[in-house]
């Protein structure tokens, strides 16, 4: 069974716990998640910390768009 995730985006605030889980299960994840197998794991900036930082959320959206389609231009 393949989970089919082509890309994984992790909020930088949860990086430590996410990386610990990834390091522990890397071999198993690589067999079922394409993003892990291909190394397509990216981090995004924290946009929720005592409230929503809308500018950071927009920067994350632009960054994710540029990763998903590098030929895209605003």
21-47 pLDDT per residue, tens: 878 877 777 778 888 888 898 999 887
Query: Using CA atoms, how far apart are residues 3 and 38, in angstroms rounded to an integer?
Result: 13
Query: Stretch 9-15: mean pLDDT, rounded?
Result: 86
Instruction: Classify each residue of 19-40 as buried b or exposed e, where b means 16 or more C-beta atoms within 10 Å of its C-beta.
Output: eeeeeeeeeebeeebebbeeeb
Query: Stretch 11-25: mean pLDDT, rounded?
Result: 82
What is the per-residue pLDDT for 2?
A: 55
Q: What is the mean pLDDT of the chain?
A: 83
Query: Using CA atoms, how far apart are residues 25 and 66, in angstroms rounded to an integer?
Result: 28
Whole-structure pTM value: 0.75
- What percentage of residues in the chain have a pLDDT greater than 70? 93
């Amino acid at each position: 069974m393949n989970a089919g995730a082509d890309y994984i985006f992790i909020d930088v605030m949860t990086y430590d716990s996410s990386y610990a889980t990834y390091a522990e299960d890397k071999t198993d994840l690589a067999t079922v998640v394409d993003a892990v197998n291909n190394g397509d794991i990216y981090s995004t900036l924290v946009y929720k910390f005592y409230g929503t930082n809308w500018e950071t959320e927009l920067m994350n959206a632009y960054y994710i768009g540029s990763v998903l389609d590098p030929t895209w231009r605003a």
